Each structure stands twice: as structure tokens, then as C-alpha cells.
Amino acid sequence: MSFTIGPAGDTAMRLSFQEPPSPRLTRLLLQLQRTAQDYFLNALSDSVVGYATLTLFFTPLSLQRDQVTAWLEKTARSLSDAQETHAAHSKETVVLPVFYDPAVAPDLVTLADDLGMTVDALTTLHSATPYFAYATGFAPGFCYLGTLDPRLKTPRLSTPRQRVPAGAVAIADQQTAVYPCESPGGWRIIGACPVTLFDLAATPVSTLAVGDSVRFEAIDEQTYRSLGGQL
């Protein structure tokens, strides 16, 4: 696996792999992140895993670029080689209930028409596909899940909505996600999930994390309401 290492601002370094995102690559990045946290300890203020990157943020005055570059290069090659000989550990799949209905999904009918399929066909394709959590961002608890069935690939809205409710299940390009809190958004809403995905009082605070396997399960209105969903 080839990669580059370089600065990412005054107090950060970024490792970038030169290959397409994949669950295998994400698992390697997560392992690198854990190893870096154990090695640099309090010198590390934060670390972020992206689709094909790991960014390490250091406390002021603690970043020694040559040392970090050498450590990243050695550790990335070592863990990459080790991964080739060991099967990846699969985490338990997170199952999220979804109410697919125009009452909670303003784009559902229009999108099905645009894609040349029925609403039932669209929701079946969406719920039948297993997803992998590649990255987090945009909002606390927002997790980018891939990869959509190619038949569901669709662009973002040309004009984002000012308000997308918490729990909205949406798709854009080749990704899907659940909005963890109310926010603006330009993804196409096809359903609603009654599960709380981000709660500062919970442990962990986010239901989904990078590296998780995720599956959506269609539910009816009665079940949706019984789980706390609102129309």
C-alpha cells in the first residue's frame, strides 16, 4: 500500500493512502489511530480518520515533524504488512429501523420517479444493502455510510434545505446517512429513523462510529411511533 505523509497546518500531520476507500483500508487507519494514541499519549490532542487519511493533531510545541514522519512511515508499513496475513475482525452489525413513507420522507416519491422505479423497489434496495461507516463529520454523530446500490446513485439537492429533522434517512451520490440532529442539509430524504444517534448524556455519545457495519430495517408506522418517532 502506497501513501504520503505531510503537514496539515501548524500542529498536525496527515497520512494519506493512495488507494480507493474500502473497509479494509478504514480498519487499517483505525488501527493506526489507536497505535498513535498509545505512542504519543498527551502530546496528541486529537486524531481524525477520513476515507483514506489519518490526521494527527499535536499540542502546541510538541510536534517534531521528522520524528512523527519516521514513526508514521514505519508503523503504517508494519501494520499494513501484518494486515495482509491476518483476517479482519468484523464488528457486530448495527441495525437501524427506518420508516419509509412520504409522510416523513419528502423526496421519496419524486426520487423513485426520477430513478425509474417504484417506491417499494427503492426502499427494498436501500434496506437490502449492507453498509460500512467510512467517516464522520458535518455534524456530531453524522456518519457517512457506503456504498449505495448503483441504481440508487443520485446527486444532492441543487438547493439545500434550511431544516432537516433529526432521524432523517437520506442519500446523496453513492452514500447514505442518518441526520443525528436537526440541521441544514442537501441530501435526499427517503425515510426516518426513530433511534437517537447522538446524546451527550450517553456512553458512547454516538451510536455509530467509523468502522461499524450498518443495516437498515424497514418498519411500519405503528412500530415507528412506538419507538418514539413523530410524523
Residue 209: all three cell numbers together: 462510529
pLDDT of residue 87: 46
Instruction: Decide if 42 contacts 61 (C-beta within 8 A).
Output: no
Q: Go through the chain and tell me how many residues it has.
A: 231
**Res. 189: pLDDT tops 90:** yes
CA pair distance 56, 39, nearest whole angstrom: 12
pLDDT of residue 83: 63
Domain at 94-226: CATH code:
2.40.100.10
CA pair distance 167, 178, nearest whole angstrom: 6
Fold of 3-85: Gyrase A; domain 2 (3.30.1360)
- Looking at this protein, which amino acid is placed at residue 193? C
Residue 171: all three cell numbers together: 442519500
Tens of pLDDT, residue by residue over 66-98, are: 999 999 999 999 998 776 544 455 568 999 999
> CB under 8 Å to 125, separation ≥6 — which residues?
117, 149, 151, 152
pLDDT class of 147 with cuts at 50, 70, 90:
very high
pTM: 0.84
Mean pLDDT of the chain: 92
- Chain centroid to CA 103: 26
Tens of pLDDT, residue by residue over 29-74, are: 999 999 999 999 999 999 999 999 999 999 988 999 999 999 999 9
CA-closest candidate to residue 80, choices 146, 17, 8, 7: 17
Domain extents for the chain? 3-85, 94-226
